[in-house]
Amino acid sequence: MGIPTVVVVGVGAERGIGAAVCRRFAAGGYHVLVAGRTESKVEQVANRIRAGGGSAQSIVVDTTAEADVERLFDLAMAPGQGCEPADAVVFNAGNNQIIDFRSLTAEQFESFWRVGCFGGFLVGREAARRMAPLGRGTVIFTGASGSLRGKPGFAHFAAAKAGLRMISQSMAREFGPQGLHVAHVLIDGGVNGERLRQAIPGMVEQRGEDGLLDVDAIAETYWHLHKQPNTAWAQEIDLRPYKELF
């Protein structure tokens, strides 16, 4: 038996959900395909894993480009280096921004949808095509509370996330009986990562100790989902810091 393989799509800064998931699976003995749009970022995450004795390969991927996603899964199912075909896929791509509905352009709306929803469709479809016939595997989508409710200034984000949630539900019902575990993780609250720290520098101090979601704690949940016995699979789970109102 070779080393198991995981594909993590939507990896950015080292202090982010995607990178944390990469590290957690590497710690669990996985070969990690670190996929994202920015070469320097995915290579930095892969280098950190390799420096710690793990196995990782960085791949530049545009999740909205069908050919890119197909190429990624060609590699995932034949990773080489003594590695087994992928049995875990994490879709973590997405972006967020407050935009007044009246000034929201068609191009902006479509851009958010393509990254947050269409990209999830492409990744989910390729995962199902390659993994369902094998009768095993896990596909995890990173969701948000926006998939349940649309807040002012977030129509574009909520629409994309709601669509992604429906993709996860449809996939779970279609492929669960074939042995493919599909899960959707609702991230409900601010994430203590590089993106939030840059956008709202004072948020960490404002929320206080443990007031934001910790990226490594989120990654631990993803690992748990992958390792769940098939007699008790979770399709959707919501995560928030204990101080978060909901």
- Continuous segment of H or E residues that includes residue 59: strand 55-60
Q: How far apart are CA 181 and CA 101, in angstroms?
A: 36
Judged on CB neighbours under 10 Å (0-12, 13-18, 19+), 85 is middle
Phi, psi for residue 212 in degrees, rounded to 5: -125, 160
Nearest to 34 by CA among 15, 6, 53, 62: 6
Kindly report whether the global pTM for this prediction surpasses the value 0.85: yes
Query: Considering just the CA atoms, what is the radius of gyration of the chain in Å?
Result: 17
pLDDT in tens, 7-34: 999 999 888 999 999 999 999 999 999 9
Dihedral sign of CA atoms 229, 5, 59, 118 in order: negative
The answer to whether 194 and 205 have CB atoms below 8 angstroms apart is: no
DSSP per residue, 102-163: GG--HHHHHHHHIIIIIHHHHHHHHHHHHHGGGT--EEEEEEEGGGT-PPTT-HHHHHHHHH
Q: How far apart are CA 139 and CA 233, in angstroms?
A: 12
Amino acid identity of residue 225, one-letter, is L
Q: What is the mean pLDDT of residues 158-176?
A: 98
Q: How far apart are CA 133 and CA 73, in angstroms?
A: 14
Residue 194 has pLDDT above 70, yes or no: no
pLDDT in tens, 124-145: 999 999 999 999 999 999 999 9
